A and B are shown apart, each in its own frame.
Chain A
Amino acid sequence: MATVLGTPNSVPDHVPPELVRSIGFMLNPEFLADPYDFFPRLQEEQPPVFYDTDPVMGSGWVTIKHELAFKALRNSENMTIETTSIFPRDPDNYFNLIPQELDPPVHRKFRNVLDPFLSPKAVLQLEKDIRGLANDLIDKFIDKGHCEFTNDFARPLPVTVFLRFMGLPLEMTDTFVKWVVSLISFAERDKAVEIMAEIEEYMSRVIIEKRANPDEGAISRIVHGTIDGEPLNERDIYGFVFFLFIAGIDTVYAALNNTWVWLARNPDRRREMIADPDNIDNQAEELLRIFGVTFSGRTLTSDYELDGITMKKGDRLMALLPACNYDPEVFPNPREVRFDRPRKPILTFTGGVHACMGAHLARLEYKIALQEWLRRIPEFDLAPGTQITYPPSGVIGPAAVPLVW
């Protein structure tokens, strides 16, 4: 998930002028026209580490190098995770986004509350449900010969999977869709406080209910979880539940949308995938490399040297994950989608102790979506005249994907 909305500031004295850039990441028309041309181009045109001044993201160090990103993300001694300001929180009744905003060693203890239910093996219990759900969604539009992919498939799939994983009623799907759309949209910033209150009001009731009636869902696991033998406190429980809500919904959505644009535009590659169903794991992993959707921010808690560059305490450092996935030293000919690459770590789910805890569930959803869609709608195209546009967002994906078949 995305981290920050910052404010631009002047370039500090310790930053070498030759490293200052303004790639204009979020609002740059070139970026918004085609982010997945923009990211590999950064590899071709920019140094491994530079200092970016950005009106949306704020100013700070950026790395686009696979090795350096992992090095920084795996360092908990010199940096802390950047606190997000996207989701407005009441300072008098604050909660942390858990476990994202916690540092080691306590971070691991919170992860242990849910990790057992998010392991590759544990998420397989949801496989049948997810497959059924993907097919139910396809049933609704397959005979029409067209759909608007983002709204008809990519949005409801992860929201419904989230509701099932959390132990929430599926009747809440539309409400959750509305909440997530409003919260993430740059255009509805003024409504965020109101939406946050609505979510908290609802979730607080659910938490009370789960306390009285435990079940197998994640909310109940958190409510009844323990850290060093002690139950979690109220704000931590809420922070954990809220974090899961924002973490898994928009990211899978964006990854699906990006991928389906590519599938529609590349019929030969699509047919190649269909002809080799046993290779689905490698196909999914390679497409997840190509279509990273977000980035990871840190704030330095002490001076730090990266790639020979001295950074100062208080500086921000961002790993531009989708760009790192195109590092030619790790993925030769990085723009090329190849389903037979030797397995290498991708940065789509970030790295270090804060690597995505829902990665296995996300991979499973993504894989099932590919399998079921390609099985039932193997031939499709973008609707005639479609112009794919990308809205500015902390999670990168097209605004609409109208498909026909």
Chain B
Amino acid sequence: MPKITYVAHDGARTDVDVTEGENAMHGALFNGVDGIVGECGGALACATCHCYVDESWIAKVGGPSSQEEQDMLGIAAAEVKPNSRLGCQIVISDELDGLVVHTPDRQY
């Protein structure tokens, strides 16, 4: 199972195994990782699973996958950076084994 590392705003790291096909938002919620809210459950209807893809993974993960994701990032509570993504739109595959994402200081 691919492993994802979530790095909290204060630098705390949590490694979790995430089923292939799941997304980075669920990876956090189902494993008790704080810092991701995922209020709408992945419908591109909020921006509470905002995260920053680690610089070393940007090329592989890519930018926002749709106009809707881009629109939603516009209302994220924390600063939006070039490596900002919505966790629910990052689908985990074997290719992303070892992915590192940073969670912002707030989602509201």
Contact = CB atoms under 8 A, between A and B. Distances in A.
A349 B41 CA distance: 11
A27 B62 CA distance: 52
B1 interface: no
A167 interface: no
Interface in B37-53: 37, 39-47
A152 to B, nearest CB: 29
Nearest to B74: A342
B72 interface: yes
A221 interface: no
Contacts of A121: 21
A353 interface: yes
Given A121-B21, A343-B72, A344-B71, A355 B30 contact: no
Given A351-B39, A360-B42, A344 B75 contact: yes
Contacts of A363: 43
A345 B46 contact: yes
Nearest to A354: B39
A319 interface: no
Nearest to B48: A74
Interface in B60-96: 67-68, 71-72, 74-75
Contacts, number: 59
A359 interface: yes
| Majority secondary structure of chain B interface residues (helix, strand, loop or mixed) | loop
A353 B107 CA distance: 12
Given A74-B108, A345-B46, A351-B46, A115 B41 contact: yes
Interface string A109-126: 000100110111100000
B50 to A, nearest CB: 13
A352 interface: yes
Nearest to A120: B42
Given A343-B68, A343-B72, A349 B21 contact: no
B41 A118 contact: yes
B102 interface: no
A353 B36 CA distance: 11
Interface in A103-145: 108, 112, 115-116, 118-121
Nearest to A330: B75
A116 B26 contact: yes
Contact of B30 (A116, A118, A343, A345): A116
A346 interface: yes
Contacts of A119: 26, 41-42
A275 to B, nearest CB: 20
Most chain A C-beta atoms within 10 Å of own C-beta, residue among B30, B45, B72: B45
A357 B74 CA distance: 24
Nearest to B37: A353
Contacts of B37: 353
A355 B71 contact: no
A352 B108 CA distance: 9
Contacts of A349: 40, 45
B42 A352 contact: no
A292 to B, nearest CB: 13
Contacts of B30: 112, 115-116
14 contacts: A108-B29, A115-B29, A115-B30, A115-B41, A116-B30, A119-B26, A119-B41, A285-B45, A342-B74, A343-B44, A343-B71, A351-B39, A355-B46, A359-B41
Given A344-B71, A344-B75, 18 more contacts: A74-B39, A74-B108, A119-B41, A120-B43, A121-B21, A342-B74, A343-B68, A343-B72, A345-B45, A345-B46, A345-B72, A346-B45, A349-B45, A353-B37, A355-B39, A359-B41, A360-B43, A363-B43
Interface of A: 70-71, 74, 108, 112, 115-116, 118-121, 285, 342-346, 349, 351-353, 355, 357, 359-360, 363
Q: Which 10 A-B pairs have the closest CB atoms?
A: A343-B71, A343-B68, A355-B39, A342-B71, A345-B46, A74-B108, A120-B42, A345-B45, A112-B30, A343-B72
